[in-house]
Amino acid sequence: MIRSKRLASILGITGFLLSPIMWWDDLLLNIPISWVLASFISSGPARLVLGINYVPVQYVFSASFILAYYMSNIVGILLLKKAYTTWRGKELTLMQSWRINIAICTVYTILIALFIHLDWLKPISVPSIL
């Protein structure tokens, strides 16, 4: 448990910014972070290092974008939960927490997959160093 309420406040603000609670923080943080990370992973050198050079770029980009987006949302939700339990001293049950987390992340993942399918989100061209 976090002892310092100041640290809990910092974790809460960071968690709020990374969580899928408001649409604007997704547009300003989670989607750009996921986009850059997915573009890097789908670039030539990263695909070579990861051993996925045979997989088409669009598939690698889509999967890595969704995975990075999921991870940023999950980290945000976990940070918020940790800050909440520190300030309030009471915990949500495990089932309540999982239901909320899964529902929120699933809705956003469906939206991201739709945006990729409609070609609204494409990989950033990363210059090759090889």
For residue 29, what are the domain limits?
5-117
The percentage of residues in the chain with a pLDDT greater than 90, rounded to a whole number, is 0
Does 81 reside within a domain? yes
The two most distant CA atoms of the chain are separated, in Å, by 53
Say how far apart CA 1 and CA 70 lie, in whole Å.
25
Rg (CA), the chain: 17
**Of 69, 60, 59, whose CA–CA distance to 35 is shortest?**
69
- What is the average per-residue pLDDT within 26-38? 88
Q: Which of 8-17, 25-34, 45-54 has the lowest mean pLDDT?
A: 45-54
Is residue 130 predicted with pLDDT exceeding 70? no
| Token pair recorded at residue 109 | 């993942």
User: Residue 86 domain-assigned?
Assistant: yes
Interval 51-91: pLDDT, tens: 777 777 788 888 889 889 888 888 888 888 788 777 777 66
Domain membership of residue 64 (yes or no) is yes
Q: Is residue 101 in some structural domain? A: yes
User: Shortest CA distance to 65 belongs to which of 33, 101, 107?
Assistant: 33
Domain count across the chain:
1
